Structure 1
Amino acid sequence: MTARYCSLAQQPAPVFAPGLAAERLGALMSGRRMWVNGTVLHYYFFDEETDGSVIPVPGAGGPRRVSWVGGESRRDVVRDCFREWQDLGIGIAFTEVADRSEAELRIGFQQGDGSWSAVGRDALLAGLNERTMNFGWDLTAPGERATALHEIGHALGMQHEHQNPFAGIHWDDEAVYADLAGPPNHWSRDRTFFNILRKLDPAEVNGSVWDPHSVMEYPFAAGLILEPEQLRGGVHPPGGLSPLDKEFVLRWYPPLAAPRPPALVPFRSEPLSLAPGEQADFTVEPPETRAYTVAVFGASDCVVVLFEERDGEPRFLTGRDDGGTPDNATLRARLVKGRRYFVRVRLYSAWGSGRTAVMCW
């Protein structure tokens, strides 16, 4: 029987300025969806009391009404899977919130809409009333816990492993189209191509080798793969986090080195000595309440994010991604004396002989 598969929504390809060096472009492709380390991702379950039990959806014959609300047993599976990822010791934390406006990840359980998630920071593109993740079937059924682990992997920025070009898979395209067109998926050819047959850019994938044991790998029955010969009998991942899954997220989100990073003092430049993908963290304790500017200087592509500490937890205030542009990231925000803030700078790439630095004033 064909498995149920995660169905990512097709997104337009990123547009970068023409003429970017290959190394710079590769760094942008690999890191553009990743969160800055130290981010607390707040997740929210659509709720009957606060959102209503049904959501109007346009359809043939007039609007129909479907539920985005999941039962407590299904929510518990998702909560448990968030804990499993966090318990790896990664520098990303997950916190459930009861207010949709506080959540970066908003989770629905619309049956029949498939299971899917925004990939990494793409979640920030969704409107406040929109889902960033959906579970379209019963997660409490045997073997379906892996679906929740898989979608959270997407939320962390991971891609489908079977689309890794290093896998060397040669599909029987028409057999794949026919298989996915039938139950239980009922996919169009476009959806099948985007989620299965399309090869990812080598810079986008989860690693430089194919991982058949990854939780981001689909299971496939015999008869869909022509080559390599050993895969003609199908692909059968175990359904849990593989060693390479863990290695990937710990590389992007290593444990935070210290509870309080060094201070970023107003009007004093702090040099950044970062390799591609590395991050520098600073605290800001403003001496007075006013509008402040935080900016990066130098020949570099960076993501800069400003957080405010609330109840011992960093909460997102504002951020800027200057990747692929000729400009440097600049943030402006009103900071309050007596409160603590965090500035996190993740480097895509740097070039030239000039020094890269960050300053607050």
Structure 2
Amino acid sequence: MGTSRSSHGGGSTSHGKPMAKPLCSTPPRPRPKLSDAVMADPRRAAAILSGRSKWANRTVLHYCFFSGGSHYAVPKSQADAVRHAFDTWKAVGIGLEFVEVDSLSEAEVRIGYSLADGSSASAVGRDVLKIPLTEPTTVYGWDLTTPYGRGTALHELGHVFGMEHEHQNPFAGIKWHEEAVYASLAAPPNNWSRATTFHNILEKLDTQQVQGSAWDPDSIMEYEFEPGLIDEPQKYDLEGLVPPGTLSSADKAWVVKWYPGNAPVPTVLQPFQSIAADLAAGQQIDCTFKPTVSRKYTIATKGATDTLLALFEEIGGKPSFLAADDDSGEDRNASITYKLFKGRTYHVRLRLYQPGQSGTTSLMVT
């Protein structure tokens, strides 16, 4: 899913029926085109599709709030709610780090707020890197200090980490009253077209994009739905679906699986010395490199594996993202060529999608 719009509000009609809530409106996101050879191997295809939006673990995500006279300027109370959401996710024990910065150009995650727009949005995972530096990667469109708003803040950050919408899980077993869904979403506050409703509600994710086979109706990534929209399971037809707006146990398990907090001791890279990495799918190796000469270096992998290779420079004691290369689904190896400077410390992280037949990849700096 690309840009995600979600709203958490409250209220009821004069007849006592819960009002429809403004929901995430995500534009269609092109699915990666994988070769016939990759698609012929379901395990490899699933590993690539489920992992492509995820960050290398222990990435430091810098975030910045729009301010001043910007259309997206974030009031302090709303910024504090987002900061609390970052803290809530971090308290789960994940390996990602979050650092607030003052300059939009230094932030991977650029956060805006606009009541006039009336919607919330966030790019999914590493897709934030495709957004121009002058534009927000995440936008909030209503009060985040309410219980529903606090859930919104958590939800959109879930997208930043690579999480998809839970009700589009193909294993959920949800059957919709489709015309009722179209009618509800066509009315205020959403005013959606049929195409937008189909893409955001009725369309299922590819089975290879999700992990496991269970649906979590309590997930922070689940929408709230009024009664009469869900045919099955029947309880939601009668009662509606109202997730608690907090991180569920499954949400916590998901984020810790992708971003475990136990950091291994990094391996030291030396020029022209190959390091072998025996990794299982989803695992990664962390390395450090301290150049003795300032010049262009090439950091590259070898082996018939699908990998994400990322390079960071240590600034102020924290790794700052420089470059990355993703060779998944391609008949090549990941490689980064970058000018590195004597006396500085660089971090190299190699995350494995699928180990291939040999189960071994190697890493070398030249």
Q: TM-score, normalised by structure 1?
A: 0.92
Amino acid at match of 2:334: A
% same residue: 50
Give the superposition deviation at 1:68: 1.0
In the comparison of the two structures, how many residue pairs are matched? 344
Whole-Å Cα distance in 2 between the matches of residues 208 and 270 of structure 1?
36
* 1:106 aligned onto 2:110: yes
List gaps (5 residues or longer) in structure 1.
55-66
2:158 alignment partner in structure 1: 153
Alignment of 1:296-335 (within 5 A): 296-335=301-340
1:44 alignment partner in structure 2: 64
2:12 alignment partner in structure 1: none
Q: TM-score, normalised by structure 2?
A: 0.91
Candidates 11, 19, 22, aligned match of 2:42: 22
Give the superposition deviation at 1:354: 7.4
Give the superposition deviation at 1:150: 0.2
Amino acid at match of 2:362: A
Give the superposition deviation at 1:205: 2.5
Give the superposition deviation at 1:113: 4.5
Of 112-121 and 312-321, more deviation after overlay is shown by: 112-121
SS of aligned partner of 2:29? coil
Whole-Å Cα distance in 1 between the matches of residues 118 and 30 of structure 2?
21
Amino acid at match of 1:82: F
Candidates 69, 72, 75, aligned match of 1:68: 72
Candidates 5, 16, 20, aligned match of 1:2: 20
2:96 alignment partner in structure 1: 92
SS of aligned partner of 1:324? coil
Amino acid at match of 1:241: L
Alignment of 1:1-361 (within 5 A): 1-20=19-38, 21-48=41-68, 53-54=69-70, 67-111=71-115, 112-205=117-210, 207-233=212-238, 234-258=240-264, 260-353=265-358, 355-361=360-366
Runs of 4 or more consecutive aligned structure 1 residues displaced over 3 Å after TM superposition: none
Amino acid at match of 2:111: I
Does structure 2 conserve the Cα–Cα contact (< 8 Å) formed by 1:40 and 1:315? yes
Does structure 2 conserve the Cα–Cα contact (< 8 Å) formed by 1:46 and 1:106? yes
Change (3 A) 1:14 1:113: farther
Q: How large is the Cα RMSD of the aligned pairs?
A: 1.4
Change (3 A) 1:241 1:207: farther
Does structure 1 conserve the Cα–Cα contact (< 8 Å) formed by 2:279 and 2:359? no
Does structure 2 conserve the Cα–Cα contact (< 8 Å) formed by 1:207 and 1:248? no
Q: Residue by residue, what CA displacement relative to the aligned partner does 1:189-243 show, whole Å, maximum 9, x if unpaired?
A: 2221111111011222254311111100111111001112232122121110001
Give the superposition deviation at 1:178: 0.8
Change (3 A) 1:113 1:325: farther
Of 248-257 and 107-116, more deviation after overlay is shown by: 107-116
Give the superposition deviation at 1:337: 1.7
Does structure 2 conserve the Cα–Cα contact (< 8 Å) formed by 1:309 and 1:339? yes
